[in-house]
Amino acid sequence: MGSMVSYVAQLCGQQKKQEVERQLRANDRPFNLSYHYANNAIKTSKYNIFTFLPLNLFEQFTRLANCFFLFLFTLQLIPQISSLAWFTTAALLILVLSITAVKDAADDINRHKSDNQVNNREVSVLVEGELRTEKWKNIQVGDVVKLENNQFVTADLLLLSSSEPLNVVYVKTAELDGETNLKVKQALTVTGRMRDSTEALASFNGEIKCEPPNNRLEIFKGTLTVDGQMYSLDNDRVLLRGCSVRNTEWCFGLVIFGGPDTKLMQNSGKTTFKRTGIDHLMNVLVLCIFVFLLSICSVLAIGHAVWETKQGSVFAVFLPPEPDIEAPVSSFLSFWSYVILLNTVVPMSLFVSVEAIRLVNSFYIDWDRKMYYPKSDTPAQARTTTLNEELGQIKYIFSDKTGTLTQNIMTFNKCSINGKSYGELFDLTGQRVEITENTPRVDFSWNQLADPKFIFHDHCLAETVREGNLEAQAFFRLLALCHTVMPEEKKAGELYYQAQSPDEGALVTAARNFGFVFHSRTPETITVVEMGKLVIYELLAVLDFNNMRKRMSVIVRSPEGRLTLYCKGADTVMYERLHSSCNTLMGVTTGHLNEYAGDGLRTLVLAYKDLDESAFKEWMQRHYEASISINGRDEKLDELYEEIEKDLLLLGATAVEDKLQDGVPQTIEQLAKAAIKIWVLTGDKQETAENIGYSCNMLREEMKDVFIISANTMEGVKNELQLARRKMCPTAAEKPNVTKAHVGLLWLQKTETIHDDKVDGEYALVVNGHSLAFALDKDLELELLRTACMCQTVICCRVTPLQKAQVIKLVKKYKQVVTLAIGDGANDVSMIKAAHIGVGISGQEGMQAVLSSDFSIAQFRYLQRLLLVHGRWSYLRMCKFLNYFFYKNFTFTLVHVWYSFFSGFSAQTVYDQWFVSMYNVAYTVLPVLGMSLFDQDVNDRWSVQYPQLYSPGPLNIYFNKKSMVYCMIHSCYSSLIVFFIPWAAIQDTVGDDGKDIADYQSFALVVQTCLLIIVNIQLCLDTHYWTVLNQSFMWSSLVFYFATTFAMHSNDMFSIFTSAFPFIGTARNSLSQPNVWLTIFLTCLLCALPVIAFRFMTIVLLPTINDKVRHMVREQPQPGPAPCRPLARRISTRRSSYAFSHTQGYGNLVTSPRFFLKRPLKSQKTLYKQMDSPVAQNQPQLYRTMTDKSLND
C-alpha cells in the first residue's frame, strides 16, 4: 500500500524534501521517526497490484502500433464504413496485450520475490534492553543491531563494538568495490568499551550528525556526540550495506542509513523499460506507413468523389444510393473504408510474430549446452525476451574486472631464486610445455602442514628446497617473515590467515607449502615452522609499506642471534638499494622479470641484509626519537628507512597470477576482431587494472602509447586529455565534430553524435577514479569521450558504481550505438541497468548482478558465443523477417490500390474475403516463422571462426530506412506484376469450352494464387539454411491454401452458408484451365527474375563479408573446434609494483600489544562446520592442526 501512496504522491506532484543533514539519536525511535527517514525495506520491482494494469497498459501503448490497432478497432465499430468484423481486430489486440502483460508480470513477480527474500532476512536488534530477532524491512534509523560472522551488513551502520581486539571488524566489500581482500573497520574507543553489554548498549544515547544519503562509497563525514563530547566519524568507522562480516564473532552497529538511503542502493540505479533499436525504428516506420496509408486513402477517396460525380449515376439503376448520401459524404465514408481495407500493410500478426520469434530465440540461449558451466551447474539464461536481436548490434562492451575477467583467486605461479627461474616446464628438446589440468603436480606429502589446495607443477623447486639449498630456503624464509598477515586460531587446530592484501596471502601460502609455515605472531615475535622445526624469531622493527616506498621490510633476530633485514618490493625501488656485488644476478633476474611481466604476472623482488648489532642499536635509538617527534615525523622515518634499506643482497623475485577466467584473452581477441570495443570499469586500483589489461592482451607492449590520466584538478585532467588526443591525431580539430539530428517518434528527440577522429596505430587510455570524477563534468565529458574513443582500449580505475553508469550514459548519449555491460557483483548493478543490454555473471559475489540483468552466463568466455552466434543470428533473423513481412504485406495491399482504379474506388477487396482473413494468420505465417526461427547464413563454428561476420549488426545494415525504401519499391513492382499480368491475360480469355472466364471471382482467385506463390518464392530466395521444418512449413502452407480454397469454393459450402461462401465452383473451373496456370507461371517468373539477377550481380561485383564466408563454406570442410593454443611468450619491461590492496599503517596495527589480547579458546564458535561449502571456500587459508607431535616429526 505504501508504494501505491508514493505513486499517487508522484502523480500529484509531491516530492520528498531534499535532505541537507542527517541527525539521529541512538535507541530513540520516536525522535528519529519525526524526521521521516526511510526504513530498511528495498524495492526494485516496477509494479504492485494496484499500479500494474495502468502502468503496463501505458507502457504498451507507447508502442505506436498498439495505438494504431486500437484506432482501427474503433473504426470497425462503425458499420457504415467497416467491411470487416470488429472482433477480429479486438481479439488479436487483446491477445497481444495479454501476452506482453503476462510476461511483464512474471518478470516483476521475480523481482518481488527477490525483494522479499532480502527484506525478510533476520537480524538481532536491541529493543527495550534485550536482543530480539527482527526482519530487515522493520529496521529503523537509530536502531542498534548485532551482526555475527558471515552475516551481510543489514544497513549502513556506525560500528560500536566488536569481539575482536581493538574493536576491529573484518569485512568483505566485493559487492561494493569489487575487491576481494578483507578490509578492516575499527570502532571508536568510547563506544568500544561497551563490548557486548546489552545494558550499556541499551542506555547508549549518542547523537549523530552526518552527511545526507549519497552514492560516494569512499567518503563518510559526520560527528558523534556522547555525554557532551564530540568525536569525528569517517569511512573507517562505518559498515556499509552489501558488505559481509568475516572472521569476527560478533559486532554491534547503529543504523545511520536504511533501505533506499544506503550507499549500495544509491548506486544501484533505476530500473528502466528497455526496448531495442528495432522497436524504436518500428515506431518511426509505423508512423511513416500510417502517414503513407492516409495519403493513399485520401487519393482514393478523392477518386471516389470524382467517380461518383461523373459515373455514379450510370449505376444508380441497379446500385441505388442510400438516401441523403451525397458524393462528399460518400467520399468521406470511403476514406475510412480504405483505412480499414489497407491496414494490412502493418497487420497485428506482425507484432505477434515478433514476440514469438524473440521468445523462441531466447529459448535457444537457455538450451545451448555450449554455454553451460558444469562446475557450478549453471546454464546461460535469457532473463528477458525482448532484447535478443540487440545482442547482434553491440558496439561497446563495458566490463567489470573482479569476478568478471578474473576468478578472484591469487596464485603463486613462478619465481626466480639466485638466477634460476622456476615454475615452467620444458620437454627434452628444451621447448616450453603448456601446463594444463592434466599436468602432474608437485607432491607435497612430505610436508605434513602443506595446504592440499595449493598447486605447483615444477618439481625442481621442491627438490631444491628439500636438498637444503641455502638461497632457496632463505627465499621462502623471507616470504614467511616479511608480511603483515595475521594468523588466528578460532578453534583448536584451525588456523586462519587474515591477509590485508591477497598477494601476501598467496606468497605466505607458497612459503608454507615449500616448508616454511608462518604459525603465529606477537608484538615481539614471529613463529615459523621451518622444514618441520619450530623457530621463533624476535621481531625488532616493521618498516611499513606506503605508496611512495613501494616496499616493506622487517628486522628480526634469529634464535642464533643473527640480525637480518628482509625486504620485498617493486623492482624499480629495490634495484636502487642492492649491493654492487649483485649486478650480475640482477641482470639475470631482470630477464626473468621481463618474462613474467610478459605473461601478465605480478612481480616482487626479494632481498635481505645482515645487520651489525651496535649499528642497529644506534639506528633504533634514532628511530624511537623520530617516531615520537611532533614535527616532520614521516619525513624523519623515511630518512631512517632509506639509511638502513641499502646494500641489500638479492635473493630473487616472485610472480603471482591474478588468475583470469578461462578463455578471457581469446574472447577479448575475438570480440575485438568483430569491431567491438571493450572498456574495463573497475573499483580496483590502477595497478591492478593495468596488470589485468596486460594479462588479457587489452594492453600490449606494441601499442604506441598507454596514456595515464591521473591529475587531481579539472584543469590538469583537461590538459592530460588534450595532450593525449593531440599525440594520437595532431591534425584533429580542437572542437569535436558533432552532428545534430532529430529522431524518434514525430522526430521530437534531439541527438548529438560525436564522430571518431582517425588514428594511426593503437593506443590505450587508463583513467584514475578521482580524475574520472572531473572528466565526467559537463565541461569535460566531450573531451573525455573524444579521447577515449580514439583508443583501442580504455580502463577506468577506482570507479564508483554510479560512475560506471555515468560512463555508459555518456557513450549512449553521444555515440548513438548499442552498449552492453557485464558484471557479477552488486557494484555492477547500476551499469547493467544503464546499458542497452545487461549481462550478469553467476560468480562468487552473489546474485545481485544476475537479478538485475537481461541475460546471465556463468563465465566471461560465453559472451563470445552469446554475441557472435546467438546475437548475430537473432539480429539476422529478425531483419530478414521484417524485410520479408513488409514485402509480402505491401505487395498484398498495393494490389488493392491498383484494383481501385477498376472498381470505381468503392473500397471493394480484390481478393476472396476469406483469403483476406487468412493470408497473415494461416497461409503465410508458418513459412516466415520457419525462416525466422531456423535460418542461419553460416553455422556456429564458422560464426566464431570469422567474427568479422558480426560487423554489419552494429552498423545496422540489414534493416533500416534505406532497406525499407527498397522493400517498398520491390513490393510496388511485384504488386503491379501480380495485378496487371492476370488482368491482361484474363480480360479477353475464354476457357476450353469457349465460355468467357473473365469474371471478378476468377480474376480474384488467379491474383491471390499468384501472390501466394510469389511470396513463397521470395521466401526461398531469402532462406540460406533449409531444414525439414522449413520445407514442411512452406509446402504444407501451399497445400493448405489449395485445400481450403477448393473446400470454400465447393457446392456443399455454398449450400450450407450461401452468403459466406459466394465463390461457388470458382477454383474448380479456373484452375482446370491451362492458360490460367500459364498466367501464374509468367507472373511468378517476372517477379523472381529481377531479384535473382540483382542478387547475382551484387554478389559478383560487391560481395559482402557474409557472401565471402558462405562461398568459403562451400569449398572448405567444416571447421573444427578452436584449438586451445598457449599464448605466445611476450617479453615486457613493464612490471607491476607492490601488492595492490596494501594499506599504509597496517604494520602498526598487527604489532600493537592490544591487538593480541588472548581470549579463551572455548568461547569461540566454529566458523564452518562444512568446509566444502561455498562460504568456507571464500575464507582465508585453513591449515591443519599443528600439535607438538607434528612439529617434532
What residues are annotated to the active site?
400
**What pairing do the DSSP bridges indicate for beta strands 551-557 and 425-426?**
unpaired
Helices (H) and strands (E) in the chain, counts: 42, 38
Task: Centre a 10 Å sphere on the Cβ of residue 231 and count the other Cβ atoms it contains.
Answer: 16
Output helix, strand, coil percentages for the chain, rounded to the nearest 5: 45, 20, 35
DSSP 522-544: -SSEEEEEETTEEEEEEEEEEE-
HEC string for 72-136: HHHHHCCCCCCCCCHHHHHHHHHHHHHHHHHHHHHHHHHHHHHHHHHHCCEEEEEECCEEEEEEH
Distance between CA 595 and CA 1066 in Å, rounded? 84
Distance between CA 627 and CA 650 in Å, rounded? 29
Q: Give residues with Cβ within 8 angstroms of 1031, minimum separation 6.
A: none
Name the grid cell of 753.
Answer: 553524435
> What b-and-e string marks burial along 1103-1138, b requiring 16 or more CB atoms within 10 Å of the CB?
eeebeebbeebeeeeeeeeeeeeeeeebebeebbbb
**Residue 316 C-alpha from the chain's centroid:** 70
Angle at 934 between CA 930 and CA 938, to 5 degrees: 140
Name the grid cell of 263.
Answer: 550507499
Angle at 915 between CA 911 and CA 918, to 5 degrees: 150
Helix (H), strand (E) at residue 640: helix 633-644
Backbone angles phi, psi at 667, to 5 degrees: -65, -45
Q: Give residues with Cβ within 8 angstroms of 997, minimum separation 6.
A: 986, 989, 990, 991, 1069, 1070, 1073, 1076
Among 434, 440, 455, 518, CA closest to 484: 518
Distance between CA 371 and CA 374 in Å, rounded? 10
Name the grid cell of 1174.
Answer: 561455498
* Contact present, 1045 and 1032 (Cβ < 8 Å): no
- Distances, alpha carbon 556 to alpha carbons 562, 564, 628, 1129, in Å: 8, 6, 22, 39
Name the grid cell of 1048.
Answer: 470454400
Distance between CA 1102 and CA 1068 in Å, rounded? 47
* Contact present, 247 and 183 (Cβ < 8 Å): no
**What pairing do the DSSP bridges indicate for beta strands 144-148 and 122-127?**
antiparallel
Distance between CA 506 and CA 500 in Å, rounded? 11
DSSP 1167: S
Among 1120, 178, 1121, 1128, CA closest to 665: 1128
- Helices 872-900 + 961-986 axis angle, to 10: 40
Q: Give residues with Cβ within 8 angstroms of 4, minimum separation 6.
A: 48, 50, 51
Backbone angles phi, psi at 555, to 5 degrees: -115, 120
DSSP 3-state assignment of 242?
coil
